[in-house]
Amino acid sequence: MGFLDEMASKAVSGLSGSSNPVASTILEMINNQPGGLSGLVQRFRDKGLGELVNSWVSTGPNLPTSSDQIQHALGNEQVQQFAAKAGISPDLASSKLAELLPLIVDKLTPDGQIPQQSSLLRSGMDFLKSLGKTGTTG
């Protein structure tokens, strides 16, 4: 089990039904990327979306993200796999990814840099807990 999988599992069990399954699935998707979070960021850069993904990592505001940009960077197959795991339609999956992926990457990189795994684990856990407290649902 990867560290983000473990983090998502702990967060889900710790939040007792108030967790966000879509956010947990996004964390799992990040973990399953070759290179994890660094690999995901590089994938966006390779697809010409470096400015966009850099805004998520930086300490400044996140640039608006469209479902088309998510589809372009991740590809149809990965969006469909995400949709299946999250239990939502592929169209909704692109929209949810456009909404939540920037927030999650932003929260996982609070100092404007991709952290070491132990810091990433703590940041991800804190983020999932905050979703449960605000009542945000998938």
Distance CA 100, CA 52 (A): 14
Q: Rounded to two decimals, what is the model's pTM?
A: 0.72
Q: 114 to each of 5, 19, 35, 53, 70, how far by Cα in Å?
A: 18, 24, 12, 12, 20
Establish if 49 belongs to a structural domain.
Answer: yes
Distance CA 137, CA 50 (A): 29
Establish if 138 belongs to a structural domain.
Answer: no
Report how many domains make up the chain. 1
CATH code: domain of residue 75: 1.10.10.690
Q: What is the pLDDT of residues 75-108, one digit of tens each?
A: 999 999 999 999 999 989 999 999 999 999 998 8
Establish if 137 belongs to a structural domain.
Answer: no
Boundaries of domain holding 28: 3-132
Q: What is the pLDDT of residues 63-83, one digit of tens each?
A: 999 999 999 999 999 999 999
Question: Is residue 108 a contact partner of residue 37, using CB atoms and an 8 Å limit?
Answer: yes
Distance CA 17, CA 32 (A): 24
pLDDT of res. 19:
57
Establish if 25 belongs to a structural domain.
Answer: yes
